[in-house]
Structure 1
Amino acid sequence: MSEIEGELSLSRVIVSDAAVPFISRGGRLFPGQVLAADPGIEDGEQVIAVDRRNNPIRVIQIYKGK
């Protein structure tokens, strides 16, 4: 990992194939669309949403429901 990658590392959320077009256009991510996520993601944290092949989609902010 390069020095820049280390400074910019974000947690990942893997999303379903059906969610990719919506998220890439700025849509919201709902719990049912999450296939897996890195442990320890906090409320309000920015994460990188990726597809099943680990291709980045966009950076999103996570809000956990009550």
Structure 2
Amino acid sequence: MHNARALNNVILDDSDSASLVIINLPAPPSNNFERERTYMMFIEALTMNLERVLLIRGSGKEVITAYG
């Protein structure tokens, strides 16, 4: 949970004026109650004290195109 709390502090510091924070989540564990519980505790610690959060689970195949 230390990593989640540390990342939460960084997010809080860097997004204090943001209307929305978007977080890309790692894949949830499968078929293991204890790991699933730990995953949910991680998410809870990661999002603590954030006003609005959108949690996204990407496929790993996203394409980002920048025009400029």
TM-score normalised by length of structure 2: 0.33
The higher-RCO structure (CA 8 Å, 6+ apart) is 2
The structure with the largest helix share of the pair is: 2
The structure with the largest strand share of the pair is: 1
TM-score normalised by length of structure 1: 0.33
